[in-house]
Structure 1
């Protein structure tokens, strides 16, 4: 009886070990197939992928201590050239793939959809082409999809709508077409949405206003039209807002600095926005960049911005601000409080009057200062020479005199 029990247990344990061996062997063979698809390896990363070293010790590989299966493939920044084989789908315990900043080409294999445990997929800064794999819909644990800076084409696949745990969707800097899908508004956990630098058209869906956890909102460099839905301006968690270089229109909400109190980046240049600059922006005390150049903004100077101590870029070039009256530039007195300012762009507006002497007290970190093509007259203040880090000064198209050329001698070049 005891002998029989022992034999049964022994056979049972042998079966488990046998299954584990073949599963691990499947991982090893899949990795070797991956290695065979690497055509250039200048850092000799693949040299460690050999039969003399257990695959769990290969560069870029992390295995589970409990079952010895591959759970992470991380080859970020290894300057590899090659493609991803379909056999990557055999690494069924993978939770993370990071191939950032290499030169992997070809299509992303649909077999990646077999990785049911996958949580993080990061293939940014490669040369992948083809369409975004629709089979990713099977990877229900996915929290991160980062496929930016490749050559992907086609539409954003509707199959991704089922990925309810998604927190980061980054598809920027590809060649995607079509519209922004309304189902994105149903991804209730989404924190970052990056679709910039594509060929997307149509309007920004109202449904995106339901993304109550959104912090990173990047749609710049597309062909989007219409208005930014008011509901998006009410997502208080947004800190990065960029819709630059589209065909958007409408007014900026007067209370935007109150409804978006966490703003750090607020950019909507090269659009068709009209109306005035919201005074409430001064309430968003974390702002570092405000850039709404090349729009149709009117009204008075940007007001109360002296409270924004972290502001490094303030750009309202090529709008229709002010009316050419004396005193238009009096707000410079307040800009002197912004000690971090590096870029001040006011060219191509209707500012009038004389350049105030307070220019001398602007941030000593100022590198770019443009105020050309306005209605400014008088002399260039001698104190402008205090801006020792200035390397671009744009004052053309005004009626200014003075010793500008001599002053330029004090600037760094």
Structure 2
């Protein structure tokens, strides 16, 4: 009987355990289903179905013994929706990561029930609300990553009880309330990364208890006060970033001895004073030193010879100069052993003296050398040619003299060279033509002479060339004008150049700025100049041009500044000038124009043009004070020939001629500079008045970082859009800086025109920052697609023209700028339309320069706008031009289909891209926007469209959709190139116009 009893007892125990495990498994199963139910796009969870045991579902890991969920890892899966509180029922969960998705809403406080949780990563999502305080109940947690979300409130004081916590990653949120002093109790902490939060307050002295701390990132946190001395006692620290705060005080002289393991020291953009400690030489592992934009002073005494691993040095915008001639730059000698040095930035350091020959002994890995804005004098050492790794060389705003050494031609990788505002003399060496990768060359404001070398024509990547304010003579070499790459600027003003303007100038079809002012060019303005159709600025003032204006100037439809003053031009003011959309200024002063001044177009605004010094003009606006034009007589009375001969022979007539010519050639005539007009200065008070105290009635748009108001600058009588930055919002200041940096480098007819910026304080003493743009009277593309559809519709040609404008802007940003620029937030609300429905791309607050260090030490990813942002960004991929191409593809499909990418119909894995793909396979006209279909029907009836033409139109529509689909595929390498997209759209437009 014992055996059956034992057997029954064993079976009963097995049954009870099995039922218990089964019940527990059921709890996990239900929790996972609840998690899935709150994810709106379930495509990534397609394996989560009854066909598989939940332990085999993607992203789910279970323990071998109890088959309970121990890890849930769904990183970079494109998940959207919110986080179910039922996750708190996964009681065996040890690892939970949802990083790089698009999950929004609050973090459920039920996560505090996960007592076994060791790693929690919810970074790079859209979580909002506060950090749940009961996360402190997760007593085994080691990693807490909540970075790159929208969390508010403060860091919970209760975190001090998390004795096993080694890493806190909470960068890029909206956390306030200062850094809690209680964090000093978490002695296990290895990493505290909290950059880009508006914490405020000071750095707690208690953080000095964190003896295990290695990484301390609190940049851009609005911190003030001094850095506590206890921080320097954390001898294991390897990375410190406290950039962009308001920290004051001095660094300890023994800093290098106290922090011997330091790899990165980033203290830029603070208010630190005193000298830079020479003991930094003891940090033998140091790789990154960035202390720019402080108030450091005194002689630079760091011995860089001991820092053999250093690759990044930025000491700029301080006052190190010791005022001992020839001595300030001696430290360059100590850099010779720094074989990994990649970037050396010493701009505006007040260094004085000679640049030592040892500059040529620096690492051949050096790509970036910036000595701008110092007091360096003497010759530029010929050894500069040894730095054959350089891509950027900035020596501007110094006092260098002598010739530019021919060895500069050895810098075969150089892309940007700026030697402007010095006293270089002699010719430009012909070896400059060896720089085949050169994109920007600025030699302006020197004493250079002789001819402009034709070898510049070998620089086939050259995009902008500035040779203004020198002593060059001779003609413009034709080879220079045949550079198709010249698309930004060619500046030759204020030289002694002569001869006629070669007809090859018309080959500069992409050039946006041509300044040949104040030279001795003569002859007629060639008609070929009309080929420069991208010009925004054309200045030929102060030359000897003669004859009438060529009609081809009427082709410069996008011109904003036209200055032809102080020449010998004659004839009547041609009618085509009335039709030019001159945004800023046209100057025809001090020529020999005659006849009536027009009264329409640009000539209807007296502040937008000048015709001074043309004595034969009449009529026009009353403000000009010109005589009325006489009625034309049918018969002209001719002077007898002998009267003309007597007059010409008269001494009095000769005196008059001399006075006339002398007056015309005076350089100090009251001619307003277009440059001065372009950069107007505005104050907070002026913008306040312009927008009627930023009234709601003038509000024309609002976003997370800014509000945009319509206004009138009364001193300019200009209608503008004023973008006021919400500095209290996290990331707004960074967005303002990004936008300013972008606008400094770009100029194109399809980019929104910036007029000026304002960085000031309001009447309460708060920081105030704003950007002032040209006002776009037709609003945004978003308005025309989704708000104005009932009253105003875009026809097909208008839609294609707008898409071509946007593609042209992207092509310029990606392929014709250095460094290339990625917009990162292309969408219809950022496409503005002027009064002629020409599209202008705006809002560069998220823009990024490719191939720069602008994002260094940043853990945040640029996400753009949901629906338009490329899917690879959700996986943490770097920004690339292919990301903009994806956004353009989605925008194109929205323009044709009328559907937003976030439309309610796009569920269950369906999106705008797939929607268009399926339509191409079936009957694509079903997806064409209703208002566009109506417009095409009305147009067909009105024009009695034939079936053949209707078929061609349908084929064109299909081709457009195919372009959008090709641009918006998931795989970046497979996306259509923006140049090809632009070419195909232009071909489609030409086809439709010929129907």
Provide the TM-score with structure 1 as the length reference.
0.96
Structure-1 residue corresponding to 2:133: 134
Deviations 1:335-355 (A, max 9, x none): 111010111111111101111
Contact 2:368 2:391 (C-alpha < 8 Å) held by counterparts: yes
Structure-2 residue corresponding to 1:121: 120
Give the distance between the partners of 1:279 and 1:359, measured in 2 at CA: 21
Structure-2 residue corresponding to 1:149: 148
* 1:218 has 2:217 as partner: yes
Deviation at 1:156, TM superposition (A): 0.7
Deviations 1:332-376 (A, max 9, x none): 111111010111111111101111121111111112211111111
Contact 2:157 2:183 (C-alpha < 8 Å) held by counterparts: no
Deviation at 1:27, TM superposition (A): 0.7
> What SS does structure 2 have at the residue aligned with 1:274?
coil
Structure-1 residue corresponding to 2:332: 332
Deviation at 1:49, TM superposition (A): 1.2
Structure-1 residue corresponding to 2:178: 179
Contact 2:44 2:78 (C-alpha < 8 Å) held by counterparts: no
Deviation at 1:79, TM superposition (A): 2.4
> What SS does structure 2 have at the residue aligned with 1:396?
coil
Deviation at 1:302, TM superposition (A): 4.1
> What SS does structure 1 have at the residue aligned with 2:224?
strand
Deviation at 1:5, TM superposition (A): 4.1
Give the distance between the partners of 2:55 and 2:414, measured in 1 at CA: 53
Alignment of 1:278-357 (within 5 A): 278-324=277-323, 325-357=325-357
Structure-1 residue corresponding to 2:24: 23
Structure-1 residue corresponding to 2:379: 379
Deviations 1:14-64 (A, max 9, x none): 1111110011111111112222222235xx431211111111111111101
Structure-1 residue corresponding to 2:38: 37
Contact 2:384 2:407 (C-alpha < 8 Å) held by counterparts: no
Structure-1 residue corresponding to 2:274: 275
Residues 392-401 or 267-276, more deviating? 392-401
> What SS does structure 1 have at the residue aligned with 2:257?
helix
Deviations 1:275-296 (A, max 9, x none): 1111111111110001100011
Structure-2 residue corresponding to 1:236: 235
Deviation at 1:4, TM superposition (A): 4.0
> What SS does structure 1 have at the residue aligned with 2:130?
coil
Contact 1:385 1:410 (C-alpha < 8 Å) held by counterparts: no
Tell me: CA distance 1:58–1:385, structure 2 relative to 1, closer, same or farther (3 Å).
Answer: same
Contact 1:385 1:411 (C-alpha < 8 Å) held by counterparts: no
Give the distance between the partners of 2:365 and 2:265, measured in 1 at CA: 21
Alignment of 1:25-174 (within 5 A): 25-40=26-41, 44-174=43-173
Give the distance between the partners of 2:35 and 2:283, measured in 1 at CA: 48
Tell me: CA distance 1:370–1:404, structure 2 relative to 1, closer, same or farther (3 Å).
Answer: farther
Structure-2 residue corresponding to 1:397: 397
Give the distance between the partners of 2:20 and 2:398, measured in 1 at CA: 80
Deviations 1:372-402 (A, max 9, x none): 1111112222222332232222222111233
Deviations 1:206-239 (A, max 9, x none): 1000111111111111111111111110111100
Q: How many residues align?
A: 411
Give the distance between the partners of 1:78 and 1:389, measured in 2 at CA: 40
Residues 72-81 or 252-261, more deviating? 72-81
Determine which structure has more spread, i.e. the larger CA radius of gyration.
2
Give the distance between the partners of 2:122 and 2:364, measured in 1 at CA: 40
Give the distance between the partners of 1:15 and 1:74, measured in 2 at CA: 32
Give the distance between the partners of 1:342 and 1:124, measured in 2 at CA: 31
> What SS does structure 2 have at the residue aligned with 1:117?
coil
Deviations 1:143-180 (A, max 9, x none): 11011111111111112221111111111111111111
Contact 1:340 1:363 (C-alpha < 8 Å) held by counterparts: yes
Structure-2 residue corresponding to 1:8: 9
Deviation at 1:82, TM superposition (A): 2.5
Tell me: CA distance 1:34–1:306, structure 2 relative to 1, closer, same or farther (3 Å).
Answer: same
Deviation at 1:124, TM superposition (A): 1.4
Gaps of at least 5 residues in structure 2 are 416-995
Deviation at 1:10, TM superposition (A): 2.1
Deviation at 1:199, TM superposition (A): 0.2
> What SS does structure 2 have at the residue aligned with 1:257?
helix
Answer 1 or 2: higher relative contact order, Cα 8 Å, separation at least 6.
Answer: 1
More helix by share: 2
Alignment of 1:349-368 (within 5 A): 349-368=349-368
Give the distance between the partners of 1:228 and 1:59, measured in 2 at CA: 47
Contact 2:75 2:101 (C-alpha < 8 Å) held by counterparts: yes
Deviations 1:66-107 (A, max 9, x none): 110000111122222222101101111001111122222111
> What SS does structure 2 have at the residue aligned with 1:201?
coil
Give the distance between the partners of 1:305 and 1:231, measured in 2 at CA: 26
> What SS does structure 2 have at the residue aligned with 1:53?
coil
Deviation at 1:11, TM superposition (A): 2.3
* 1:266 has 2:268 as partner: no
Give the distance between the partners of 1:200 and 1:406, measured in 2 at CA: 51
Give the distance between the partners of 1:347 and 1:365, measured in 2 at CA: 20
* 1:257 has 2:282 as partner: no
Tell me: CA distance 1:405–1:153, structure 2 relative to 1, closer, same or farther (3 Å).
Answer: farther
> What SS does structure 2 have at the residue aligned with 1:48?
coil
Deviation at 1:315, TM superposition (A): 0.9
Residues 8-17 or 288-297, more deviating? 8-17
Give the distance between the partners of 2:386 and 2:38, measured in 1 at CA: 58
Give the distance between the partners of 2:301 and 2:119, measured in 1 at CA: 42
